[in-house]
Structure 1
Amino acid sequence: MEVLIVGAGSMGTWVGGAVDADVAFADVDPDAATAAADAVGGDVADLEGTDSYDIVCVAVPMAHAANAIASHADRAERAIFDVSGVMGPPLEAMARHAPALERASLHPLFAPERAPGSIAVVRDEPGPTTDAVLEALAARENDLVETTAAEHDEAMESVQAATHAAVLSFALAAESVPKGFETPIYADLRTLAETMTEGTPRVYADIQETFDGAQSVAEAAADVAAADADEFAALYREAATRWHPDDGTGTGDDSSAVTGGSTGGDDR
């Protein structure tokens, strides 16, 4: 099986190493295509070429996914899929430009260096070729999470846009404190800030442009900042009810304000 991967960034390179196929990379940066090919033992393809492949995988930034699908769909003989991170627009573009092919949208919910992990999957037009790709990813201990484009894109408003806005806001607003002064909540947020700021700014910017979520964080922060004691307590109870709907957390003991309380896990 031969796969053309359009986009030779970290995610495209990861796909090239994860699928059980002969892969070729095409990228606007020829050096990036060469580096990806060298990393996984693949080939370099002409971005403007006409050679066809069993599968075309689009691994470009989400803002450019639909255009890349329009440009390269005719190079796919059997299947096309993307790993751009948004699902609605790419799947619409695939249906328009590759109506006779197997089609899927995949979103690895992790940075490539943290693989394996969960991969959101929409099998828009399934078949043996895309099934083989997914089986190869599952064989590498990735957890395939079947979803719909609407469900995925709505979830990303919270999972990515709101979460990233909140963590980046903490990273900009908070100060480093002397050793020994950390509470568990501060330490966890600091770890998240350190992890997030190791990434690529453009990737996070693309997420903010694609998904809503940051505005709700800003509005909530403004409500917290403007609240008096009673209003703050009401906001706290509202949050506690949302995240602990069955156990009454947040309505009684105030000791967590001193100890740092319990903190939930993070998915990234």
Structure 2
Amino acid sequence: MNVLVVGAGAMGRWFGESIHCDLAFADADPAVAENAANELGGRAVELDTSETFDAVCLAVPLPVVEGAIEEHAVKAERALLDLTGVMAEPVSAMAERVPDKERVSLHPLFGPENAPGNVAVVVDEPGPVTDDLLSALESRGNTLVETTPDEHDEAMKTVQASAHTAILAFALSANSVPDGLRTPVYDCLTDLSAQVTSGDSRVYADIQAAFDGAEDVAAAANELADATVEEFEHLYRDAKSNGDTNAYRNETDPEGKR
């Protein structure tokens, strides 16, 4: 099977490395495509190539995924996949552009450096090509979590937009503390801040633009800041109840499957 990966950044390389196929890489920066091809043993092609492939996987930034589907869908002979992190728009756009082809939307819920892990999957139109590609991802130790576009995108408001906002807000507001005066909670938040800020700022900005969630975190922080002692205790109990509910869900369904 030959596969074209459009977008030869970190996630495009992760996908290419995870499957055992004849690979071609295309990127807006030809040097990035060349580097990916040299690293993974594939070849680089021009972004506007007229070649066709058994499967095309789009690993492009969130804001340009619909345009990429329109531009590159014609290159897919049998299957079209996206690997962008949002699902409703790509799934709809792929169905419109290639209604007669296999179609899958993927979202690895981790950075490539933390692979393997959970991969959210919407199989909009299954078939042998996408079955083989998904099996290859599983064989690398990834857990495929079937979902729907709406369920996924709603979850990302909390999992990504709200979580990133809370962590970055802490990083922006925290003062340096001597080692002897640090607490375990402070250390955990500091570690999370370092993890988030070690990534690509544009990726995080795109996530914030794609999903609501920041406003809810800001509203909760303001409510806590303005609360009386009695109001704070009530909010604390609400937070504990919400945390206990999420902990129970994780214990009973650790892989997020139904």
Go from structure 1 to structure 2 and tell me whether the alpha carbon gap of 1:246 and 1:103 turns closer, same or farther (over 3 Å shift): closer
CA shift at 1:183, angstroms?
1.2
Quick one: structure 1 residues 128 and 246, their matched pair in 2 at CA, closer, same or farther if it must change by over 3 Å? Answer: closer
- Structure 1 residues 225 and 139, CA gap change in structure 2 (3 angstroms): same
Q: What is the percentage of aligned positions where both structures have the same residue?
A: 53
* Cα offset, 1:184, TM superposition: 1.3
CA deviation vs aligned residue, 1:105-140 (integer Å, no higher than 9, x gap): 000000011111110000000111001000000000
Deviations 1:176-210 (A, max 9, x none): 21012121111111100011110000000000000
Distance 1:246 1:15 in 2: 30
State the partner residue of 2:226: 226
State the one-letter code of the partner of 2:67. Answer: N
Find the aligned partners of 2:176 and 2:42 in 1 and give their Cα distance.
44
CA distance in 2 between partners of 1:73 and 1:168 (Å): 37
Instruction: Tell me if 1:145 matches 2:145.
Output: yes
For structure 1, the 5+ residue unaligned runs are: 248-268
Equivalent residue number for residue 34 of structure 2: 34
Cα separation, 1, equivalents of 2:172 and 2:73:
42
Secondary structure of the residue aligned to 1:222 is helix
Normalised by the size of structure 2, how large is the TM-score? Answer: 0.94
1:11 corresponds to which letter in structure 2?
Answer: M
Deviations 1:73-97 (A, max 9, x none): 0100000001100001011110011
Corresponding residue number in structure 2 for 1:95 = 95
For the structure 1 residues 245 and 122, does the alpha-carbon distance in structure 2 shift closer, same or farther, using more than 3 Å as the test? closer
SS state at 1:14 partner: helix
CA distance in 2, matches of 1:25, 1:216: 39
Point out the more displaced range, 155-164 or 223-232: 223-232
Output the CA distance in 1 between the equivalents of 2:46 and 2:157. 35
| Corresponding residue for residue 77 of structure 2 | 77
Structure-2 separation of matches of 1:180 and 1:15: 44
Q: Distance in 1 between matches of 2:246 and 2:132?
A: 42
Counterpart of 2:256?
none
The more displaced of 33-42 and 205-214 is: 33-42
Higher helix share: 2
Q: CA deviation at 1:155?
A: 0.3
Measured after TM superposition, the shift of residue 66 of structure 1 is 1.0
The 1-side partners of 2:189 and 2:91 are apart by 35
Report the structure number with the largest CA radius of gyration: 1
**SS of alignment partner, residue 78 of structure 1:** strand
1:1-268 to structure 2, matched below 5 A, reads: 1-245=1-245
Give 1:175 deviation, angstroms.
Answer: 1.4
Provide the C-alpha distance between the structure 2 equivalents of 1:126 and 1:201, rounded to a whole number of angstroms. Answer: 34
Determine the C-alpha separation between the residues in 2 that align with 1:164 and 1:5.
28
Q: Deviations over 1:40-79 (max 9, x none)?
A: 1110011111100000000001111111011000100000
In 2, distance between residues paired with 1:122 and 1:86?
11
RMSD over equivalenced CA pairs, Å:
1.2
